[in-house]
Amino acid sequence: MVTRGADADAELEQIRAIAAEPADRDALRSRRVRPVLLIGIGLAVLTQLNGTNVISYYAPTILGAAGFGSGVAILATVGLGVVKVVFVGIGLLLIDRVGRKFLLVLGNVVMGLSLLGLALVAQAAQPDPVLLVLFMALFLAGNEVGWGPTFWVLMGEIFPLRVRGAAMGVASTAVWVATAVVAFAFPVLIDGIGLSASMYVFAALNAVAVLFGARYVTETKGKTLEEIERDLHARS
């Protein structure tokens, strides 16, 4: 949408006001920026601790632990990849209509319930293969509609202009560190406590993510970057 007249003048004035502020107010370690940076790091870590890469990377392992043959497990994994592609497109269509915060929280609720379903199915002596794949697909749908596109959009919106590049670098580093931790820890976890208990652990982490998103994430839909910056600084 094109900004015109008084709206353009007001936005230009906001940009000038932000640019005129002292640079040291927006240093990464400053009290002004630190709360926003911590929110970004929290989102970065939770985007991995919610279990998305557990399901994406270890789908054949999970299905194998439930008694699937290797061929069937790989075929089911391909189908789950199709689900990811379809629902990330749906997430992109919804993000500017219903808002970032709503999608994050909704995604975590769907993911948490899906993991609870997986845990219950995995507890059975003979897990139902259809239910197992169904809950995995539902989990991926919740993630791709919610966290998939929304996390990266928020990373480009919430950080102050002067430190946006550096702050996004810190958050991206946190993503990959958390990815490595989950990738290496999950096989140990599943060997130690089993598939069902592991799913309960990640379901609990999704509950933490719901609380974090509801409490600390601000809605950025329909706001200019300068308005978002002012709002976040006022809240911090």
The pLDDT tens digits of the residues spanning 167-195 come to 888 998 999 999 999 888 888 988 899 88
Above 60 in pLDDT, residue 2?
A: no
**Amino acid symbol at 55:** I
Give per-residue pLDDT as tens, 204-213.
Answer: 999 999 999 8
Give per-residue pLDDT as tens, 36-64.
Answer: 888 899 999 999 899 888 887 777 777 77
Classify each residue of 186-216 as buried b or exposed e, where b means 16 or more C-beta atoms within 10 Å of its C-beta.
Answer: beebbeeeebbebbbbbbebbeebbebbeee
Could you tell me the CA-to-CA distances from 41 to 36, 50, 60, 72 in Å, in that order? Answer: 9, 14, 30, 38
What is the 8-class DSSP label of residue 15? H
Model confidence, pTM: 0.80
Domains in the chain (CATH in brackets) are: 28-235 (1.20.1250.20)
The band of 69, judged by pLDDT with boundaries at 50, 70 and 90, is: low
Above 60 in pLDDT, residue 23?
A: no
Count of helix runs (H) and strand runs (E) in the chain: 9, 0
Could you tell me the CA-to-CA distances from 59 to 6, 16, 126, 127, 220 in Å, in that order? Answer: 53, 50, 18, 15, 34
Could you tell me the CA-to-CA distances from 117 to 122, 137, 165, 203 in Å, in that order? Answer: 9, 12, 40, 10
